[in-house]
Structure 1
Amino acid sequence: MSIAFYHIAHLVGLILLFAGFGALASGNRKGMMYHGIGLLILLVAGFGLIAKLQVSYASHFVIGKGLIFLILGFLPVLVKKNVLSATAVLWIAIALGGLAAYMGYLKRLPFVS
């Protein structure tokens, strides 16, 4: 499959992921299925992009994006366990999404040469 296919699939996964966070913020627990589906699509498309772009799996960029992926996957647990409010989790997710977009566009970590 082409790089464009994986890129579009990655963006669709991101949209579904944030739709899940929107459902979390509105209190709709059934809408959280979009969070999981989005994570799965992001994972598959992300690894497809890494393979097509021939980026090293050990690069700082890939490790950083992987950590953001894990944190975005874990954030709803913090709401369910009443550690953070849904609004706080939503803002953290937005900040992490912005950081992931920055890293995806420039293929590097911020503040690292």
Structure 2
Amino acid sequence: MSFDFYKVLHFSGIFMVFSALGGQILQAINGGDPRQLPGRKWIAILHGVGLTIVLVAGFGMIAKLGIGFAQPWIIGKLLIWVVLGGIGAVAARKKNLAGMIWVLVLLLGLSAAYLAHYKPGA
């Protein structure tokens, strides 16, 4: 598969992750019980599938670039991926922090974009 295919797949996964996190965090901001959210299962599925697609497509792009996995920018993006994987659960449990978590999610997205574009340490 081509680099462009992996890139489109990667962005599709990113859109899925951020859509799901937006739903989770908005529910927390509104103070609702996450167990009573009608689309809760779909949000969880969207989040999990999106994270998987982001990871697989990201590794596919790295393989197509022919670079090693131990680059600082790749490690940074993996750490961001881990944080984005668990931050929705934190927002659900700490509803008073949900607004700050929403801003943090946006900053993490911007940081990941910066790392991907400039590749510091490469």
CA distance in structure 2 between the aligned counterparts of 1:69 and 1:84, rounded to whole angstroms: 23
Q: Show the counterpart of 2:64.
A: 52
CA distance in structure 1 between the aligned counterparts of 2:111 and 2:103, rounded to whole angstroms: 12
The one of the two structures with greater contact order (alpha-carbon pairs below 8 A, sep at least 6) is: 2
In structure 1, list runs of 5 or more residues that go unmatched.
none
Q: Show the counterpart of 2:74.
A: 62
Are 2:41 and 1:14 aligned? no
Look up the equivalent residue of 1:38 and give its one-letter code: G
TM-score by length of 2: 0.81
Deviation digits for residues 8-42 of structure 1 (CA, Å, limit 9, x no counterpart): 00000000000001111232433232111110100
CA distance in structure 1 between the aligned counterparts of 2:47 and 2:120, rounded to whole angstroms: 26
Q: Determine helix, strand or coil for the equivalent of 1:85.
A: helix
TM-score by length of 1: 0.87
My pick for the range that moved more, 76-85 or 18-27, is 76-85
Please report the RMSD computed on the Cα atoms of aligned residues, expressed in angstroms: 1.8
Q: Show the counterpart of 1:73.
A: 85
Q: Whose Rg is larger?
A: 2
In the TM superposition, 1:1-113 aligns within 5 A as 1-27=1-27, 28=37, 29-30=40-41, 31-82=43-94, 85-108=97-120
In structure 2, list runs of 5 or more residues that go unmatched.
28-36
From the superposition, tell whether residues 84 and 4 of structure 1 become closer, same or farther in structure 2 (CA, over 3 Å).
farther
Q: CA deviation at 1:85?
A: 2.8
Taking every aligned residue pair, what percent have the same amino acid on both sides?
Answer: 36
